[in-house]
Amino acid sequence: MLDLLKLRNACEDSYHILTSKDDTKLFLREWKTPHLSKTAFLIHHGITAYSGPYGMIGNRLSDMGYSTYGLDLRGHGLSEGPRGDYTSKHKLFEDLEVTLDFLKSKHDNIVLIGHSLGVVTSSISVNLFPEQIGGLVFLSTAREVREGASYSRRTFATTLKILFWSIFKPSKPIIHFYREGIRGKEDPLFNFFYTLRFLRTINPEDLVLPEEINYPVFVGVGESDELFSVDATKAFFEEIQSETKEFALLPGAKHAHFEENSFDPLYNWVKKSFVLETLKAEY
């Protein structure tokens, strides 16, 4: 059992505790700037992860002057909730809404950065709350996974076990999410076990793009991504109905491993797409 209060107190980044509609406390990390910027960035983490490992992006954007945040989904990182579980899509929608409402109360424009599974939560946000969003970044995603991607295969017995617990105790995180080379195994805030209903709540099938997008969009994939090929990511990029979209290869990057310069194309796009303006309001 994680001592969330102790771990939050030990957190070196600034943060906010948001309260969702069912009183679940959500952890929103902030990489602070001297002044609030009109445009803020919100990072949605990938499966098994949480906001902390995205400091490579958060710190760089904040150094550039942009207010940047990272949400820990409930049941992940320093947010409350049973590990690796979501009881329903409705709870997810409420969590996303309270987060966007909080940011919109402080900033004029919100740009979502979704990595891997975070692309799905970002797309859900865009479709539910289109008026809240003014930019999109999709990292490490595509419609199709590479053939032979090294996920562990489930035996028939394991599949029966998952179905049994999903019926009789749906809150039990019985699905072991693992692939060769997965990161975070030494970090207690990473989570590698999920309920079936979580995987049905945030499902790649929910990656639905709006029919028309009138703000900047960036799509990036690591040149050595183990899960998604460059061609598959480009095909996804072509689906996006935006006149201001950009595709980039992330140098030296894998699916969840990045070099110091991997996100340089992203930072260059940010500079081109969003004029840095600060708000009069102080912290």
Q: Is residue 13 part of a domain?
A: yes
Q: Is residue 283 part of a domain?
A: no
Do 177 and 150 form a contact (C-beta atoms < 8 A)?
A: no
Give the pLDDT band of residue 159 (cuts 50, 70, 90).
confident
Q: Is residue 63 part of a domain?
A: yes
pLDDT of residue 283: 55
Helices then strands, counting H and E runs in the chain, come out as 8, 10
Beta bridge pairs of residue 247:
219
Q: Is residue 36 part of a domain?
A: yes
pLDDT of residue 35: 93
State the amino acid at position 100 in one-letter form.
L
Q: Pick 161 or 225 by higher pLDDT.
A: 225
Mean pLDDT score of the chain: 92
CATH of the domain at 28: 3.40.50.1820
Q: Pick 74 or 184 by higher pLDDT.
A: 74
Predicted TM-score (pTM) of the model is: 0.95
Which residues have a Cβ under 8 Å from the Cβ of 28 and sit 6 or more positions away? Answer: 15, 16, 17, 18, 51, 69, 70, 71, 72, 99, 102
Q: Is residue 147 part of a domain?
A: yes
- Number of folded domains that form the chain: 1
pLDDT reading at 152 higher than 80: no
Q: Is residue 282 part of a domain?
A: no
Give the pLDDT band of residue 24 (cuts 50, 70, 90).
very high
- Window from 95-104, 181-190, 203-212, 260-269 with minimum mean pLDDT: 181-190
d(CA 137, CA 114): 6
As a whole number, mean pLDDT of residues 217-239 equals 96
Share of the chain above pLDDT 90, in %: 81
Q: Is residue 118 part of a domain?
A: yes
d(CA 41, CA 272): 15
The residue segments making up the domain with residue 219 are 4-273
DSSP 154-192: PPHHHHHHHHHHHHH-TTS--EE--BTT-S-TT-TT---
pLDDT reading at 69 higher than 80: yes
pLDDT of residue 281: 60
pLDDT of residue 271: 97
Q: Is residue 281 part of a domain?
A: no
Give the pLDDT band of residue 153 (cuts 50, 70, 90).
low
